[in-house]
Structure 1
Amino acid sequence: MSLTVLLAVAVLVLASGALRARPPVSPADAAPAAPPSPPLRATEIQVSAPDVSPAAVTPSQAASPAVASQASPAPAEPAPTSGSAYVIKHILPIEGPLHLGDHYWDERGAPATGTIMITVDLAAQTLSVFRDGFEIGTSAILYGGDDKPTPLGVFPITQKDADHVSNLYDAKMPYMLRLTNDGISIHGTSVAEGFMTHGCIGVPTPFAKQLFAAVKLGDRVIVTRGKMVDVGAAISAG
């Protein structure tokens, strides 16, 4: 085989390895898009608000049953803020990256009560749930596309609706946790390649049910893109 042919084959191999897909989308409230690359797996916590960093994901196996709660009216939307410190004490011991559809819930070793904090890292496509600083759940997520991006910041949960149906998209959004008055929320959906949301944070429905049961109105959700802090460090979410 000539040197020219060998060089051409090498170029083709390198080129094919460099191709990457776009991030995913949610069928519940989104339009089709190119398939995304799998979410990253982090060993640190990712969090942020104006200057905060959200929890990366470190999950664990198993799931505890969840209980639905009734919907409450959404109060006026507060602006993202930062404030009191919240120390990350423990992350679930999950090895390897999370893939679309992966989710874990394990409350063993965590306090039965305590302040709940949810962190979302759009860069890693992961959501983590902490109680009193202990991670009790984590999941791969879908998020908004370029035309309808998921906002960054710190947002309190202002409404819970286990059987929510979007009046904008006529789509079921089970176990909805509202974050903003213009419709951004966390809700259950099919987390699969090739989809993006219209700005919401989509998680697998079984995980959404567990999350719905664990949180209350006013619990904070910190959304960032790639911000990280180590275990033992404090994050701020006013």
Structure 2
Amino acid sequence: MEELFFNFINQFGYVAIGALIFIENVFPPIPSEVILPLGGFFTTTTDMVLPGVIIAATCGSVLGAFILYGIGWVLSRERLMRFFNTRPMRLLGFKDTDIASAIDWFDRKGQFTVLICRCIPVVRSLISIPAGTARMNPVKFTLFTLVGSAVWNTVLCSLGAAAGSAWMTVSEQAEWVSDIVKYVIIAIVAVVAVFWIVKRIIPNLRQERNAAKDASETGHTPKHMR
């Protein structure tokens, strides 16, 4: 994959960097940890300059972020609440009020996370979806995305330029940090999943089973099971 990126950037320069980072924001498995240091390296072997590489990457970041922001906007609070109010979601322990509370929290206190998360691997792209769902002000979203992405892009591009032909070392170290973040996220998700199963799913299944048992005895189907 590195060879593909190398040839693409070597041929199309700034446009290639902007396009790759745009795709990376929409499809996170494409590693910016490779693209950005490589872009920095090219400032040492071509007529590309570091500020131009950073600007191209940041433009790609902002445009890509708006794709996911749009997906979040389409989902909307109302649609998510209807979805999580369905019987299968209720059996999994979800409530429509959970969604409302989460969106209200993001609207009150979570918008600043858009800025912070732009510098965190993995979540740096996905944070755009809750921002869109919460109808975060587009101007504020653009500003936070621009600043956060510029910081991330500047660091990795500058390190790649400083490393020169050893840019792969920067890429490997950045990917190592990204892997650590992934493991931390997986661990957190696992703990939350266990807590959710114990506190939400198991009690709901017991309630459902007891309701079904009562229904079979009385001949009436509880409203929540219809």
TM-score interval for Structure 1 and Structure 2 normalised by the shorter chain: under 0.3
Indicate the structure (1 or 2) with the bigger Cα radius of gyration. Answer: 2
TM-score when normalising by structure 2: 0.23
- Structure with the higher fraction of residues in strand conformation: 1
TM-score when normalising by structure 1: 0.22
- Structure with the higher fraction of residues in helix conformation: 2
